[in-house]
Amino acid sequence: MALELFEAPLQVFNVAFKIFKAPFEVFEATSETFNGTFKTLEMALEIFEVPLKIWNVTSRTFDGPLKISVAPF
């Protein structure tokens, strides 16, 4: 699981998984391209009315290659 790659706020991701209860598509991005990818993640989150503030904070927590599983596929 992509979540296992993160050493910090795993709880935030786990909560999101429990809210969605659906298969997830893994989005891969790096710190250089994450801003563009994040717009896609925001749209996916808006569908489920998940607070975007949680993900904004989490996205800024990591530096370097990212693997984020948040959007239902």
Give the domain ranges of the chain: 11-72
CA 6 to chain centre: 11
10-residue block means of pLDDT along the chain (73 residues)? 42 48 40 44 49 46 47 44
State residue 30's pLDDT score. 37
Name every residue whose Cβ is closer than 8 Å to that of residue 2 and which is 6 or more positions away in sequence: 26, 67, 68, 69
State residue 41's pLDDT score. 54
